[in-house]
Structure 1
Amino acid sequence: MTTRRIVLAGGLALPALAARAQDRPVQIYVGFAPGGNIDLAARMAAPFLEKHLGGGTQIIVVNKPGAGGMLMLNEVAAAAPDGRHVALVSFPALVTALYDNTPRYRVDSFTYAGLLTDEPYTVFVGTDTPFRSLRDLVEAARAQPETVTIAGAGIGGAPHLAMMAIERAAGVRFTWVPTQGAGQAMQLVQGGHVAGSISTVSLTVRAHIQGTLRVVAIMERERWDKAPDLPTAIEQGVDVAAGSARGFALPAATPAPIVARWEEAVAKTARDPEFRALADRDFLIVRHMDRATMTRFVEDNAREYGALWRSSPWRR
């Protein structure tokens, strides 16, 4: 992309700031390695956010993997509140790190500009494995506890907690193999290094259709109309539904006019017909929340996973 001028909202783009902005693009941070579902969502949204922020905004996506996204969140929470440091945050990863780690951020370290996507998870395996269904995975784990390996992004994030929910519902034990992102987990599955993995429909359903991996369950209450051949986990006797939501967060001290500009850009992106067409093509599920609704969503997540941590810690 060529470098263009960024204009901030509410009259904050003074001439000197606008000039300096030619060398200071907006950075959207992703807490996982390139090639995963969160990274792909950020890169899909970036040109639309550029358009709807206006003023010649340039956005670059910056990957800062590590500690299940916590390292990136620490960095953005401490960044200058100038509208140029924005995190694509995922849930429940943002809140689970508050309980199983020692992050330098809290829920109120950020101001939330809006949720953009929310997707169910799938359980998938390699095409060369003997596993044809979630039942097959469960029965293998029941026969030989902790020998069936499941890979996924980080520890304590949504994929890991989804696996633990399957374990509780089915009364089995897998072995979790943490990775720096969903893309790396997919590579381990396709290379035959692990039995399976858990990730969102946007990363896995197209690969399933293309025959490069096998989705054995979708973790939704009902079958998904875009891939009606995929059975749910519930159909296979595992009463679990799980997924991952993603939205945008800025440092808490970011001035209100800048946050309002971002909130508007996220909303316009969610409504943009071209973005929605691309999302539909790539099995990305758009679910928009405005700033206030997303803030309540984050607070509810924090309470929910705090209670879960006290009853069933996910680090063991």
Structure 2
Amino acid sequence: MTTLPARLPACLMLAVLATPAVCLAAYPDRPINLIVPFPAGAGTDMTGRTIAQCMEKTMPGAQVVVMNRPGASGDIGLAALAAAAPDGYTLGIVNTPGVVSIPIERPAKYTLDSFDFIANLVDDPGTISVHADSPIHNIKDLVTAARARPDAVTVGTQGIGSAGHISALLLEQSAGITLSPVPFQGASPARTALLGKVIDSTMANMGEAITFQAGQPWRILGVMSDTRSQQSPDVPTFREAGFDILAGSMRGLAAPKGLPPPVLSTLSKAVEQCSTDAEFVDRAKKTFQPLRYLGRDEYVSNLRQVDTQLRALWKVKPWNR
């Protein structure tokens, strides 16, 4: 009878006692790539870097590498995420409305069913801003200018079907105006264009707009939320100006469909721990990211609701025309 050493490693013992034996390394055992479908420097990028840093803390031994894959309103990054191997080593930040609106507006390489959603992290309301030198001082001024010059007032967006583009359409629909959308790869390039007076106004999420405003000739006209933002309480809501508009962008974490259940569980627990981690919460606050943690089931339910709402909007006002 073969006598085994008392301290033989468990995996080797399996190999001795059972042939063949499979020894699985603990997850993660190599770097995790986190795709951010927008350029560095804007809100989505900040969310990606904030959660990456925290996940390295809540998953001991993990290394999370942020990879910016901007372009086509986030479509390039989302397509890359959907096409990746579902092994837990490629994750991505997904935004509303893009993850929902892009498959509605054009043939896409993914749908909501192409992803395993892990959790929502941020819910950032939309804003519209102008250069501080602009004669437009508030939302009513903007609407008046657009009515006087239909299709002439330019507004920066993050591309067709992006949060900024959908927000601009909602403003047009509510105010009875027509703006002239100018697509950019993300909020940061639109910021540069506004500060250079290349465009008249730009859409951005609240956290981005506050960041862009710091030390710059930047005026935020209004926020598309039901109440004023605690981050910038002087900025009125669109409702206060008479336009019932609620819009913005949720940012969550997802993976390609088909994650092994133990990997999905590990990731879900790590992100849930981050949601209450003091360092994570403090960093999000300092970088103007309004946190809204939603677990997997609630997050998916919310995304389905957004899908229903946008399909209804599409029937009335298709946004790719």
TM-score between both structures, scaled by the size of structure 2: 0.89
**1:255 & 1:143 partners in 2: Cα distance?**
57
Is 1:124 aligned to 2:133, yes or no?
Answer: no
The alpha-carbon deviation at position 215 of structure 1 amounts to: 0.5
Could you tell me how far apart the structure 2 residues matched to 1:313 and 1:152 are? 16
- Which one of the candidate residues 42, 48, 59 is aligned to 1:53? 59
SS of aligned partner of 2:301: helix
**Counterparts of 2:76 and 2:68, CA distance in 1:** 11
Instruction: Find the counterpart in structure 2 of residue 271 from structure 1.
Output: 276
Deviation at 1:18, TM superposition (A): 6.7
Give CA deviations for 1:197-248 in whole Å, capped at 9, x if unaligned. Answer: 1111111124435343110111112222332211111212222121110101
The equivalences for 1:78-157 within 5 A come to 78-157=83-162
Residues 92, 17 of structure 1: alpha-carbon distance in 2 compared, 3 angstrom cutoff? closer
Q: Which amino acid aligns with 1:241?
A: L
Question: Do the aligned partners of residues 159 and 272 (structure 1) sit closer, same or farther apart at CA in structure 2, a change above 3 Å counting?
Answer: same
Q: Shift of the alpha carbon at 1:311?
A: 2.3
Residue type of the partner of 2:119?
G
Alpha-carbon RMSD across the aligned residues, in angstroms, is 1.7
Please give the per-residue CA displacement for 1:140-177, whole angstroms capped at 9, x wherever unaligned: 11001011000011111111110111111111110000
Cα pair 2:86 2:257 within 8 Å, conserved: yes
1:170-195 superposed Cα distances (whole Å, 9 cap, x missing partner): 11110000110111111111111001
Per-residue CA distance 1:75-118 (angstroms, 9 max, x = gap):
11111111011010001110101111111112111111000110
Give me the whole-angstrom Cα distance separating, in 2, the residues matched to 1:16 and 1:257: 10
- Output the CA distance in 2 between the equivalents of 1:151 and 1:209: 19
SS in 1 for 2:119: strand
Query: Which one of 1, 18, 24 corresponds to residue 14 of structure 1?
Result: 24
- Equivalent-residue separation in structure 2 for 1:209 and 1:64 (angstroms): 26
For 1:180, the equivalent position in structure 2 comes to: 185
Distance in 2, Cα, partners of 1:45 & 1:212: 30
Matching residue's letter, 2:203: I
Question: Superposition pairs for residues 65-80 of structure 1, below 5 Å?
Answer: 65-80=70-85
May I ask how many residue pairs the two structures share in their alignment? 300
- Pick the aligned partner of 1:311 from 280, 299, 316: 316
Higher Rg: 2
Q: Which amino acid aligns with 1:29?
A: I
Q: Take 2:240 and 2:23, find their aligned partners in 1: how far apart are those partners? A: 55
Displacement after TM superposition at 1:53 (Å): 2.0
Specify which of 212, 234, 237 is matched with residue 232 of structure 1: 237
Q: Partners in 1 of 2:94 and 2:28 — Cα distance?
A: 27
Cα separation, 1, equivalents of 2:25 and 2:34: 24
Q: For structure 2, list consecutive stretches of 5 or more residues without a partner in the other structure.
A: 1-21
Tell me if the contact between 2:27 and 2:263 (Cα under 8 Å) persists in the aligned partners.
no
CA contact (8 A) 2:125 2:248 kept: yes
How far 1:287 sits from its partner (Å)?
A: 0.3
Q: Structure 1 residues 257 and 243 mapped into 2: Cα distance closer, same or farther (>3 Å)?
A: same
Task: For 1:156, give the aligned amino acid.
Answer: G
> SS at the partner of 1:210?
coil
Indicate whether 1:248 and 2:258 are aligned: no
Question: Which letter does structure 1 place at the counterpart of 2:161?
Answer: G
Question: 1:15: Cα distance to partner?
Answer: 4.3
Q: What is the TM-score with the length of structure 1 in the denominator?
A: 0.90
Structure 1 unmatched runs, 5+: 1-11
| Partner-residue secondary structure (3-state), 1:44 | helix
Query: Residue 9 of structure 1 aligns with which residue?
Result: none
Contact 2:43 2:289 (8 Å CA) reproduced = no
Residue 26 of structure 1 is aligned with which of 14, 24, 32?
Answer: 32
Distance 1:17 1:215, change over 3 A: closer
1:168 is matched by which residue type in structure 2? Q
**Alpha-carbon distance in 2 for matches of 1:263, 1:272:** 14
Counterpart residue number, 2:210 = 205
Deviations 1:7-27 (A, max 9, x none): xxxxx98349876x2xxx211
Take 1:45 and 1:291, find their aligned partners in 2: how far apart are those partners? 16
Match of 2:296 in 1: 291
Q: Which moved more, 1:186-195 or 1:119-128?
A: 119-128
Contact 1:119 1:200 in 2 (8 A): yes
Query: For residues 209 and 231 of structure 1, do their structure 2 counterparts lie closer, same or farther at Cα, with a shift above 3 Å needed?
Result: farther
Give aligned-pair identity as a percent: 33
* Residue aligned with 2:91, SS: strand
Structure 1 pair 85/18, CA: closer, same or farther in 2 (3 Å)? Answer: closer
